[in-house]
Amino acid sequence: MTVTQQLSLIDSSGPRHQAAAGEVRLLVFNAQHASPGRARRQAEWIAAQEAADLLVISEVGSGPGGAALIGALTERGYTSVLAPGASFAGYGTILASREVGLTAIPSGIKVLPHRGPAATFTLAGERIGLLGLYVPSRGPKERRNEDKRAFQRAVTAALPGFPAQFGGPVIVAGDLNVVEPGHIPHHAVFGDWEYDFYRSFAGAGLTDAYRALHPGRPRPQLVRPQRPGLPFRPCLRHDPARWPYPQLSLPARTPGAGRHRPCRHDPRPRADSSK
């Protein structure tokens, strides 16, 4: 499958908010395979967030709800939307931008590539890489963990080569469906193979942006009844030289300047929380 087949580039009209100059402001969002009506409300909420210049949206359905979300984002000023092509089934990941143009590039992920799209964009004269991820859940009894293991192995294999495509910063963000090793309280549902996947990001030279900003703070998590700690949506960065763009949904530090930007998790239910 080529990148052109995997992703479709959609243009849109005027923005509700202006994108920040010289800063990367990223929102990571789980759409929960919303129905069309709910997807349109999600797009309205997203567009109202001033700092949502770049989007990584996971769990986007392949049916009418996903199409409604894509259309609503373009109507609300996201000038570039990279969405899975019509050939995929199940859930995928969307990348979107208010102002900077996103160009689809190979992610190197050979399994379920619609869950791991990649793009490049230019900001302040520098080329930056963006990789969005949506790791499968454990799946039904008859295929327990098969897709999750296969996708994790494919991501782990692709990670070292992805930053190598760029001379500057790289952002990896999305929904990993695992908590970090050593999380308190411990969740026995996760196996060593899932924690090994988590560690593979550091092994590929990526820095956990939340941990860089909050080394000792407990990590926010979404707690569902009978499914504690799912999912976990991190933002990581690869910076071989410097990181001049401090504003992320889970932002990184500005090296040398000692300056930090807000990094927060908003646990409040949104108005779109019903189906």
Q: For residue 59, give the amino acid letter.
A: E
Structural domain of 184: 3-238
Regions of the chain short of the pLDDT cut 70:
1-16, 86, 141, 182-189, 218-275
Tell me what pLDDT residue 230 has.
38
Tell me what pLDDT residue 140 has.
74
- On whether residue 66 sits in a domain, the answer given is yes
Give the model confidence (pLDDT) of 146-199 as tens digits.
999 999 999 999 999 998 888 778 999 998 887 777 665 666 667 788 888 988
- On whether residue 264 sits in a domain, the answer given is no
- On whether residue 164 sits in a domain, the answer given is yes
Tell me what pLDDT residue 56 has.
95
Tell me what pLDDT residue 163 has.
87
Domain count, the chain: 1
Q: Residue 148 sits in a domain of what CATH number?
A: 3.60.10.10
- On whether residue 57 sits in a domain, the answer given is yes
- On whether residue 134 sits in a domain, the answer given is yes
pTM across the whole model? 0.79
Query: How are beta strands 103-105 and 7-10 bridged, if at all?
Result: unpaired
- On whether residue 257 sits in a domain, the answer given is no
Tell me what pLDDT residue 12 has.
43
- On whether residue 44 sits in a domain, the answer given is yes
Tell me what pLDDT residue 108 has.
95
Residues belonging to the chain? 275
- On whether residue 263 sits in a domain, the answer given is no
